[in-house]
Amino acid sequence: MSEELILQIQKKAGLTEVVSKYILLNNSRKVLKGRCPFHKDDTTSLMIMPESNIFKCFGCGAEGGPVDFVARIESVSREEVAGRMAKELGFTLNKFAQ
Ligand SMILES: [Zn+2]
């Protein structure tokens, strides 16, 4: 799978929805917060910004989009995650093959 395709999937996947499957998020207007799953977080250091579809942790510095989040939390490759999301999002992979 090409990096270009991963980026397209990354743009299309809804970060809030993806992250909500793994951690509890508190809604606070435009930014959602949750306990960061990537370090020992006693507060809610993880920010989810739905408008830009990115997450950022102010505790450990973890950041990225939906694909990055899942790849990191499940310790799998970005390609594997993007492949799964592509199916869920109805991407036609053949179109981008080669
Ligand atoms: Zn963190």
- For the chain, the structural domain boundaries read 3-89
The whole-chain average pLDDT of the chain stands at 89
How far is the C-alpha of 70 from the C-alpha of 43, rounded, in Å?
21
Q: Cα of 98 to ligand 1 centre, how many Å?
A: 36
Q: Which CATH architecture has domain 3-89?
A: Alpha-Beta Complex (3.90)
To the nearest 5 percent, what fractions of the chain are helix, strand and coil?
40, 20, 40
pLDDT at 24: 86
Q: Cα of 44 to ligand 1 centre, how many Å?
A: 9
Q: Cα of 40 to ligand 1 centre, how many Å?
A: 7
Q: Cα of 97 to ligand 1 centre, how many Å?
A: 35
Q: What is the mean pLDDT of residues 12-32?
A: 85
